[in-house]
Structure formats: C-alpha cells, structure tokens
Structure 1
Amino acid sequence: MGKSKSNRFRRPQFNSAGLPAGPVRDQEEDQTLEEDQDQEEDCPAVELLEKLQSPSADVREFACASISRVVQQSQTIPGFLQRDVVKRLGPMLLDSSLAVRETAAGALRNLSACGGHEVCEDMVKKDIMTPLTSLLRECCAGFLTDQKNTVEDVANEAVNLLWNLCESSSQALSVFNKAGLLDVVLQCLETHTHNVELAIAAAHCLHAVTEDNPELLCSINAAALATLENLLQSSSPGMAHSHLRTLAAGAMWNLKSSLPAARQAHALSAVVATLSQCLALDAGVLIPKLREEEEADYASGAASADAGSQAVEGAEDTVEMEEEEAVEDEGEKGAGRKTNKNQTVKDNDFTDLLPRDMGKLRDALALLAAQQTSLEIIVNMCCSDDPSDDEWEEASSSDESEAGPDALCDGLSGLMSPLCLSAEVHAALVNHNIPEKARLHTLYPSAQEDPVSLQRSHGGVPAESILEMPDKKRVQYRALTCLHNILSVMDVEALGGAEALQATAQHLSSLVFSGPEIPKEEEFLEAITSAMRSLLQTIASKNIPQCMSPQQLMSLSEAATRCNVVSVRVNALAILGITWQHAG
C-alpha cells in the first residue's frame, strides 16, 4: 500500500447500526432466509418477475420482497439480470403503493450491493437513475405529509441504493450532479433529529459523492455548508449520532475547497475536533459495558415474559372455571378475554416485553464504524495527490521478481519521500493529540471487546450477519494505516521526540512478533509493514537507534514473501533496505 492515494479509503457500506448498508434483512427475513434458499428452485426468477405485473399490490410487494431475499445469494443474480430485473423493478419505484416502492427499492439496493461494481454499472446503463431520482424527489415532498414515517422508510431504501450506485458508477455520479440530487440528500440529512438511520444513509452518500467530484463542488452553497456545520455542532447523545457527526466531518473535509477563506480555519477545527471526540471513546471499556447491559436487558425481558406466561395461564384457568360454573356475571369478569384456551389472552399479551431488537449491539457496531471512518478521514487528510494507485502498483510490481532489494529500494525512493501537510492541518492534528490516539487504536482488542461476543445466547441475528459487521480488528488496520501516514508527514518533535518514536517501534514490533507466529491476515500485514516502513525511515533520517533485531527482520521478510499482496513484499524489502543503510 502506498503513502498517498493508495492509502485513501472509500466508505464502508454500513448503516447506523453497523449493519451492512447493502443487503436489507429484517429479523423475520433473516429467520426465513435459509428456508428461502432451500426453496430457490420453487421460486425461479421468471415466476417472481411475472408477479411484479399483478394487479394486486400485496402480490407485487411479496414479489419485490422475495427478489430482495433471493438476490442476496450472488449465484442467483445472473438469472435475474438475464430476465431484465432492473427494467422490471424500475417502474415499481413509482408504484401507487408505498409498500411496493419500499420493497422494490430494497430489492434494487440488495442487487446493487451483492452484485458489485459491474452490476451497478449495468443498472445505471439500464436507466435506473431516472425512476430513482423521481422517487427521491417525491419522498422529500412527502416528508411534511401525514405519511411521513412511511415515506421516510421508502427514502431510506432509496438513499442507500443511490449511495451504492454513486460509489460504484461514474455515470451515476454524473447523473447525481446534473439532476441536482444534492438538495435531496441534504433534506434526508436534516431528518437526523428523529430518524438517525435515514440521516446516516444520507451522510454516507454525501461523504461518497463529495470525494474527488469537482463538478459537484461548484454547486455547493452556503445552505449546504450550514447543514453540515450544524451537524458537527450537534450534541445529540448516542453512538449512532457520533457516527453521523463523523460522516459529516468527512463530507466537510471533502468540501474544504468550497469554503470561503474566512471559514476554513473554523471548519478545520470543527472537523478535527469531531474526529478526536470519536477516537477518544474507549471501545475497550464501552463495548463490555454494552454487553453487560444487553445481557441485563435480556434477563429482565425473559423474567417479564415468564411472569406474563404465568399470568396468561392463570387467566385462562379462570376463564375455564367461570365457564364451568356458569357464572352469571361472566361479562364483567371475562371482559376483553378470549375464551378459547388455545388463544392468547388479549389484555395480557406480554410478547412486546421480549427483547426483539439488539440495541446494545447496534450501539457497539455504530461506535466501531464511527472510529473506523474517523481514522479513514485522517488517513486522507494526511495524503497528497501523488503517487496515484496506478503509479504505486506500477512501481511496486513491475520487474519485482527480477529486481534485488537495492534496486527496488532505489526505485522506491521517490515514493518514500515525505508528504506535504499544511501548517493548519498539522497544528490541528497535534493540538487534538491525533498521533497518540491513532497509536492507541492499533492495539488489538481482547476477545471480550469483540462485538461478536455481544450476540445474545438466545439468538435473534444469524452468526454470519454479525461476522460480516465491522469489528475492532478493522479499526486496528485503519489505525495502523493512519499511523503510517502521520509518520510520513509529521516531524519528530510533533511525534513526541526520539523516545516516543522508539516506543512506537517497540509497540509495532510487539504487534508483529508477540505471538508464536506472525499474523497472516493480508490487510494486517499491509497496514503494519507500511507503518513500520515509515517509522524506520523517520528514525533513520534522524539517526535514532532502531530496535528491530536481525532475526525479526528475517522473520518479517519470510512472512512477506508468502503474502500475495505485492505492496507487503515491497514494504518488507524497503524495510530491509532502510535498516541495511542505517546499519552501514
């Protein structure tokens, strides 16, 4: 991984809960997904697509919901594409039924997320942006009507679809610009006071479309900037709102060139302060606390449910006795109750007391998503425009097999030169202690801190859904890359001096060598070797003694040679070259 553009990050597809922003699964759908997979042959694409033409809104809704589930299995997508699923679902976005609109948008959202870039490009070529644009505008017009809540549910699916398309397709981004969809996204963003999920989807979309989009920058006005500034200054509690503010900070950073000169310093301060506040949250403390609260909520809910069941049984026994004794005032004693023993007593339905959601898990994942996003934004703040991804790949992969360490390191000398960082950004990062916060987040979490442990023993969400969520491991990887860029752009004094650099070197070495063997995860190796390379170069340039032993260097080199990621091997060779030159 290179220092600059190759260390930029595109947004992760996660919503306010930390759940994947692509596939849409409610609890009932998750429970039936396995059954749907088994019945896949009984529900072919042709049958579901035919149901979209039904005069019954319920049938059309069922068809859209079924397609939404089925396309989560990537092997089914080609069959739907061959039968023009996009052109058939497109009109459903403007169906007379809001429920059909919502499920159609959800099906297209899943198709875009599970199908990848090529499917997104194909969807745009088949003109899905036209009905989607109309739907989004109608949704915004409906925010002030009596159906506001339902319309916002539709908008949430539509904005997630828009986000996926603009992230994957330059043509979709062009349509976004020309259709003036920025105003629509900002309107959705302003729902944050009562609908944080929709606001986060809009913030993700805004964060994506404002990156490297000069055409859009020309249309940014004072109202748009004010919306973002208000978000950064908001003090709404909760992890979801912290994630929202982080995304707003990322969008504000992307729009920095649109800011009037007089407001740039204030905006920069607000952006870095937001990121700093997010990184200051200690997931190692908060996540175990959330787990304890989740377990307590479950225990309380289970106890209440038991009490409710006993009350129901008692009420049924009373009804039965009343019937047997033919009590004359049955109407008074049995008011509101069902007399059939096999039916639930209406006035004592305690099912709502069961813990149906996983609020604490959602909070934990929102926290980690916010911290991951914060680190990615800082990575981009410390990036210059060159070399590009293509240049890095060309420099790192061409003739690699034929070049020795000296030749390769000489060829990389230009790529390893210090990056540029403005004095204002440098000062803001130092004032908010960002280097140290990034270093702290490189610590690997214990098993107790892993959000997967927040899964309740009674179930509710499939294990595979939880394993797909961002965990603190990913935060660690981003923190390492963030540290790599910080080390590349800051001077020794700003980093804490020689002692601090040596301590950081020991810390990075411990991450690699503390276990019985070097970790094999490619993303970890890419991030850790990039950070070590930058650190060792900084240490060498100041003639500070480094603490890696020859045995460690050999072990790292051997691990790198087994890695399929070219940049890992390049980093290892560069580390050897730096150490060799410094020793000489």
Structure 2
Amino acid sequence: MGKSKTTKFKRPHFNSVGLPVSAVKEDEGAEEEHDEESCPAAELLEKLQSPSADIREFACASISRVVQQSQTIPGFLQRDAVRRLGPMLLDGSLAVRETAAGALRNLSACGGQEVCEDMVKHDVMTPLTALLRECCSGFDSAAVPMKDQSNPVEDVANEVVNLLWNLCESSSQAVSLFNKSGLLDVVVQCLERHPHNVELAISAAHCLHTVTEDNPELLSSTNTAVLGALEKLLLSSQPEMAHTLLRTLAAGTLWNLKTSLPAAQQAQTLNAIVATLSLCLDLDSGVLIPDLRRAEEAHHRNPSPVTDAEQQAAVQPIEEEMGEEEEAPTKKNGKTLMVDTDVSDLLPRGKEELREATALLTAQQTSLEIIVNMCCSDDPSDDEWEEESSSDESDMGPDGLCDGVSNLMSPLCLSAEVQGALINHSIPEKVLKKTAFPRQEATNVCRENPSWRGLTKRMQRVQSRALTCLHSILSTMDAELLGGEAALQGAAHHLSSLVFGAEEIPKDEEFLEAVISAMRSLLQIIASKNISQCMTPQQLMSLSEAATRCDVVSVRVNAVAILGITGSTLAKEKGTAETLQMIGNALLQVATKDSDLVVNGEALDALFDVFADGEEAETAAKIINLLPALKTLQPVFKAKIRKEGRGKYSRQQLCVLDNIKINLRRFIGYLEKSKRSPTA
C-alpha cells in the first residue's frame, strides 16, 4: 500500500535514586498487591508537615523510593501527594528541596502520562519554575565544600530539570506553561554549566531536545543567545562520551529550532548538525565498551587511597539491588511499547567508565533518532494512520503536506540540502553498519558484571534504531544516491542475514518491527528498479509465519506487504505459479483470520497486486480458488468494517479500509470477467 511508517522517538525515563524503575527489589511477599493498610502513603505524607527538616527530608526520600513500586502510586495520589509535595520544592532546607524534587520526579516517571497531567493540573509547575529560577541565580554563589564534591544548588537544579523534562514529555499543558513562563533561557543556563557539571548539562540538553520538538510557540522566544549557546556546544571538542552525548542533543535541538536560524546560516548549521551525528556514529561501541570495562577493572585494582574506597562504599548497595536493567511494558494504540528505565545520569561517582559507556550508546541511539526525524513527515494526520499501517497515497487522496515546514525539508521528500549533507557525511553507509548485531566481545563483558548488564539491551536498541533509520532513509532518498543496484542488493543480503542467519527468526518485537520495516522499504525499491529479489520462497513463508505470531500490528502489516511486493514481482516471471500459490494462500489466511482490520485490508491489497495480471498469476488463482474465496470473504469484511470500524479505527484508517472494500468488489468483477474470457 505504498508509503510506510516513519517514527518519532520519545526519550527514556529516569528515577532519582539510581535504580531501574522496574527492577527495584521488594520485600518478601511483595508479589501481592499492596492494600490500603500496607501502603505507607498516609504516614509518609503526614511527615511532610513535621517541623524537623530532617524528618521532612526523610519523608521525601522515602516517597521517592516507594513510588517506584507502581502499585503504591494510587495510594499517594488519593491522598493529594502532588499538592502536599509541591510546597516542599520551596522548603527552607536545600536538602528537602532536592529530595522533594526527586520524589516528584520519580512519581512523574513511574506514574506515566496520567500522573504527569495530574501534577500539572495541581499546579506543580509554579513552585518548580520558582525553584529552578532561584537555583540558576545561585549557581556561582553556592559554596562547594571540597574539590571533588558537587555544587548542592546544581544538584537541586538537576532534579528539577529532570522533573520538568518528564512533565513536558507527557503533558502538552506543561509545554505550554514552559513557553509562557520563559523557561527556555533558564534551562539554557543549566546547559551552560557543562564545564562544571556535565550531569546537569545533559539533563538540560535532554529537556531542551524534548521541549523544542513540534513547538512553534517556542520559536518566537528563541533568541541569538539561545542559538549561540547551542552552536557553541555543537562545536566543542571534548573527547569524553558525556560531551559526545551533549553535542548530539545540541544537534537535535538545533534541528528542532531550524526555522529560527537566519536564512544565511541555515546551510552551515545543517552541515554542522549532520557532521556531529556522523562523528557520533563513527564510534565503535563494540571496541570501546570492552576497553572501558577493562579500564574500570584496572581502576578497581589500583584505587586511589581515600576517594575510591569512599565511592565504592556508596556504589555497593546500588549494585546489589540493581541487577539487570529491565523495561516496563506500556500499551499504545494496541501495541506493546517498552519504557526504557535508564539510570545513566544517576550512577554514583566512581562508576565513570560505566557512565561513559552509557553516554556513548545513548548518543548513538539519539543520533539515529534525529536522522529519522529529519527524514519523516511532520504531518500528524500521517502518523495517525501509519502508527499501525501504511497506505497508498492514491487511496487516501491528498497527503496533507504541511505548509510552513522548514525550507530545509519537505514531508516525505528530503530537500537537496538535507540529502546532500547526509550523503556527504556517508550517513546511509554508517547507518547500515550500525544495523549489525552487537559484537560478541561487547555483549560478553556486559553480561559478566551486574552493573553493566543493562547495556546489552542498549546495544540491541541502537541496532533497532539503526534499522528504523535505514527504513526512513530508503523511504526518502533516491536509489542512485544510495549506491545503485550493487549497494541495494548488498543491503538486501545483509538484512536477510539478520533475519535468517540464525536457526530461527528472532522473536524480539522491537528488532522484528524495525528489521521488517527496513526490509519492506528496500524490497519496494528493488522491485521498482526491476532488480532480482534476494529472498527464497521458503524464507518468505517463514517470515510470514513469524510475523503472524507477533502481537505488533505493524509487523504483521509489513510482512503482508512484503508478500505482496514479492508476489507482484514473481507474477511477471515464468514458472512461478507454485510460489504464487503459497503467497496467495498465506494472504488469504491473513485476510480471513487476522483479528485486526488494518492487517486484513493490507492482505487484500497485497492480493490485488499479486493477482492483478499475468499467466502465472491466473494459473495460481485458479488452483487456490481465489475467486470463490474472495466472494465468501467480501460480506464478512464489509460487516466487520460496519461493526468494529467506528469505535476502533481512525478516520484515515476507515477511509483506506473503505477504498479496499470498493477495490475488493472491483477485483472480484475483474476475476469473473477473466474467467468468462475465451483466453482464460
């Protein structure tokens, strides 16, 4: 059905005590849900009113830990936790302010969108804004007791910026209040602390990257000082991975703010953005991560006499509880999404090598996401349909192209400037290289140590993002610019090896969704250029079977589309009737039995393509009894649209499904006419 899904990515959530949100150890018997009596909310919230700052701090810190067990959150919300914690942000004690911000931060991260919106409704943005402004005005005057100790005011600001980041990620009202409160300059001030406090700067950079996306209201308040701070960071050259991450986030923010740039400066800034992403992708995590792990081991064998011992004492309890990084599943449009529970900004001092490794992988993941966003349409009406499927533009009518998008980019068609920058910096080749499986040495060293184990999932996520990025590049760039027939065939063989290289097709949904969308885009191009297909019929059927068992709708949609692309190509060749029978039967099975109407429609659309013309297709259609099968299916499909369509599917989806219903009637008429024809 033509155009395929493009994805805009959301950032990971963090918690403030250094533990993965879903990996917090609970007491014996914690598998049972906490009831009203066992929930500590009432007692801890009561302690917030204590005249003792120590008790208030203890209560905030306890709340921060307890709300990581998501089943406790309703108990806190029912007791007005947000309204009672909010004033703690302006408490007379700096320690209480920090722990209160941490508690609210964890509540926002673990509670999800509903909790964030509730927090904004309870006016948490007012004390948050006041505290952040106060922190920024006191950065330089705050006393730092010892050389290696952090600035206490910056520590508070870091918690507040992370809370702000969570809220703006989940609540459009928070973004609107961010704009109206003039918080852009304040967060940029936090960003500029990077020579003194890279953790605060990274939090601020993440927040800016989030809040500047799709935020035209903010563009009017973007001044030369803001752009200058971002450009200065973009052109910095510190070699540490934390600074690589900072530069990557600055690149993404500048891309979001591109329409604020003077016209004469746009091309230069675009080139600097792509150069930054290119340098980040050049880094080989398969080599660097083992090197960093060896450096950590050497560091532990030869600790400095005082500081490392003290730091290790702080690290040990967290290592014991941390275990392997996990993810918490959430649902979006019927599809399971995994919420990343990264703790990179919260690792204790003394874990610098792990911080560096995490920053490297975060930077590469973010770079790939930025490239995807550079390639994809900004039109929300597209995303509404393409979230679960894709459709042919001729079915949908006008594609709703956006007016007013940056003159550097037009939806679904890269401008010459963007395309040239991506090609000049070899981005397609570098993205393809990142689609390979993580190196065995890197995954082995991570599995050997509990603290590093979560990086394995991060390496896999970089691969999945690279596959999605490859899909976006294939969808928007000319085949000749990508290297022509030889390069396309090489990429096709590479993708086939990822899917079929092992004894069975990988079951990881994130990987499967990414690789199958890239494969679909590539096979579409190969078919349009009349280049021979690289998948055998057996591989095609095994991919279809694996996709049928997958819960992710877009995986099933793309697998069906691949069957259609391959089948329509084979229908033009001699001696392919047997393979076309297999494809036809598989598509009929999906069209009849899949539980999702979008997948049913995609399967029917693929059948139209495969059996539209050609002697081999006619022969196969007769053998599988395609005409009677479609006649039987037609009233069922129409009834299913009537019964399920209105409440379950979007207007765009229903429009496409209605067109497929019409095309089904026409296709049945075409097959009946062919059957009556003397040459049939």
CA distance in 2 between counterparts of 1:246 and 1:581 reads: 42
| TM-fit CA distance, 1:135 | 0.7
Match of 1:474 among 461, 466, 474: 461
Deviations 1:113-171 (A, max 9, x none): 00000110111111111111111111111112134711100000000000000010011
1:103 is aligned to 2:99: yes
RCO higher in 1 or 2 (8 Å CA, sep ≥ 6)?
Answer: 1
| TM-fit CA distance, 1:100 | 0.2
- What's the % identity of the aligned pairs? 67
Give the counterpart letter for 1:131 in structure 2: P
Helix, strand or coil at the partner of 1:7: coil
Helix, strand or coil at the partner of 1:516: coil
Helix, strand or coil at the partner of 1:191: coil
CA distance in 2 between counterparts of 1:535 and 1:350 reads: 51
Match of 1:513 among 497, 500, 503: 500
Give the counterpart letter for 2:429 in structure 1: E
Is the 1:155–1:198 contact (alpha carbons within 8 Å) kept by the matching residues of 2? Answer: yes
| TM-fit CA distance, 1:493 | 2.1
Which residue matches 1:264? 266
CA distance in 1 between counterparts of 2:180 and 2:412 reads: 35
Deviations 1:358-407 (A, max 9, x none): 2211111110000000000000111123452212247559xxxxxxxxxx
Give the counterpart letter for 1:182 in structure 2: L
1:290 is aligned to 2:289: no
1:160 is aligned to 2:162: yes
Is the 2:389–2:557 contact (alpha carbons within 8 Å) kept by the matching residues of 1? Answer: no
Match of 1:117 among 113, 118, 132: 113
1:77/1:210 Cα in 2 relative to 1: closer, same or farther (>3 Å)?
Answer: same
Match of 1:547 among 534, 539, 553: 534
1:183 is aligned to 2:185: yes
CA distance in 2 between counterparts of 1:5 and 1:215 reads: 27
Is the 1:409–1:574 contact (alpha carbons within 8 Å) kept by the matching residues of 2? Answer: no
Give the counterpart letter for 1:564 in structure 2: D
Which residue matches 1:493? 480
| TM-fit CA distance, 1:237 | 2.1
1:33/1:94 Cα in 2 relative to 1: closer, same or farther (>3 Å)?
Answer: farther
1:280/1:468 Cα in 2 relative to 1: closer, same or farther (>3 Å)?
Answer: closer
Give the counterpart letter for 1:384 in structure 2: S
Give the counterpart letter for 1:65 in structure 2: A
Which residue matches 2:199? 197
1:270/1:139 Cα in 2 relative to 1: closer, same or farther (>3 Å)?
Answer: same
CA distance in 2 between counterparts of 1:252 and 1:146 reads: 31
1:393/1:292 Cα in 2 relative to 1: closer, same or farther (>3 Å)?
Answer: closer
Match of 1:574 among 554, 561, 564: 561
1:563 is aligned to 2:550: yes
Equivalent residue runs for 1:5-84 within 5 Å: 6-13=6-13, 22-26=14-18, 34=26, 44-84=40-80
Deviations 1:47-67 (A, max 9, x none): 100110011100000000000
Match of 1:533 among 486, 510, 520: 520
CA distance in 2 between counterparts of 1:182 and 1:202 reads: 10
Which residue matches 2:246? 244
Helix, strand or coil at the partner of 2:469: helix
Deviations 1:460-499 (A, max 9, x none): x5x8xx5388511000000000000111111122111211
Is the 1:395–1:411 contact (alpha carbons within 8 Å) kept by the matching residues of 2? Answer: no
CA distance in 2 between counterparts of 1:128 and 1:160 reads: 14
Deviations 1:422-451 (A, max 9, x none): 000000000000001000100011343138
Give the counterpart letter for 1:546 in structure 2: Q
| TM-fit CA distance, 1:30 | 12
- Give the TM-score, by structure 2 length: 0.71
| TM-fit CA distance, 1:12 | 2.8
Is the 2:169–2:210 contact (alpha carbons within 8 Å) kept by the matching residues of 1? Answer: yes
Equivalent residue runs for 1:305-344 within 5 Å: none
Is the 1:365–1:451 contact (alpha carbons within 8 Å) kept by the matching residues of 2? Answer: no
| TM-fit CA distance, 1:32 | 9.5
Deviations 1:275-325 (A, max 9, x none): 000000000110111111112222223xx88xxxxxxxxxxxxxxxxxxxx
CA distance in 2 between counterparts of 1:3 and 1:270 reads: 30
1:385/1:42 Cα in 2 relative to 1: closer, same or farther (>3 Å)?
Answer: closer
Which residue matches 2:84? 88
CA distance in 1 between counterparts of 2:514 and 2:272 reads: 28
Which residue matches 1:423? 416
Is the 1:105–1:158 contact (alpha carbons within 8 Å) kept by the matching residues of 2? Answer: yes
Which residue matches 2:123? 127
1:85/1:448 Cα in 2 relative to 1: closer, same or farther (>3 Å)?
Answer: same
CA distance in 2 between counterparts of 1:426 and 1:261 reads: 18
Deviations 1:81-134 (A, max 9, x none): 000000110000000000000000000000000000011011111111111111
Is the 2:70–2:110 contact (alpha carbons within 8 Å) kept by the matching residues of 1? Answer: yes
Is the 2:241–2:360 contact (alpha carbons within 8 Å) kept by the matching residues of 1? Answer: yes
Is the 1:68–1:103 contact (alpha carbons within 8 Å) kept by the matching residues of 2? Answer: yes
CA distance in 2 between counterparts of 1:182 and 1:361 reads: 31
Which residue matches 2:407? none
Is the 1:6–1:388 contact (alpha carbons within 8 Å) kept by the matching residues of 2? Answer: no
1:510/1:270 Cα in 2 relative to 1: closer, same or farther (>3 Å)?
Answer: same
Q: How many residues align?
A: 515
1:501/1:4 Cα in 2 relative to 1: closer, same or farther (>3 Å)?
Answer: closer
Which residue matches 1:324? none
Helix, strand or coil at the partner of 2:414: coil
Helix, strand or coil at the partner of 1:388: helix
Segments of structure 2 that go 5 or more residues without pairing to the other structure are: 145-150, 316-349, 402-410, 573-680
Helix, strand or coil at the partner of 2:302: helix
Match of 1:484 among 467, 471, 474: 471
Farther off after superposition, 559-568 or 270-279: 559-568
Helix, strand or coil at the partner of 1:12: coil
| TM-fit CA distance, 1:579 | 1.1
Helix, strand or coil at the partner of 2:213: coil
1:349/1:216 Cα in 2 relative to 1: closer, same or farther (>3 Å)?
Answer: closer
CA distance in 2 between counterparts of 1:365 and 1:275 reads: 17
1:132/1:5 Cα in 2 relative to 1: closer, same or farther (>3 Å)?
Answer: farther
Equivalent residue runs for 1:434-473 within 5 Å: 434-450=427-443, 453=446, 456=449, 461=451, 466-467=453-454, 471-473=458-460
Farther off after superposition, 147-156 or 219-228: 147-156
1:272/1:186 Cα in 2 relative to 1: closer, same or farther (>3 Å)?
Answer: same
Helix, strand or coil at the partner of 1:533: helix
Segments of structure 1 that go 5 or more residues without pairing to the other structure are: 14-21, 306-347, 398-407
1:424/1:549 Cα in 2 relative to 1: closer, same or farther (>3 Å)?
Answer: same
Is the 2:493–2:534 contact (alpha carbons within 8 Å) kept by the matching residues of 1? Answer: yes
| TM-fit CA distance, 1:23 | 1.1
1:201/1:469 Cα in 2 relative to 1: closer, same or farther (>3 Å)?
Answer: farther
Is the 1:451–1:471 contact (alpha carbons within 8 Å) kept by the matching residues of 2? Answer: no
Deviations 1:550-573 (A, max 9, x none): 111111111111111111111111
Helix, strand or coil at the partner of 2:49: coil
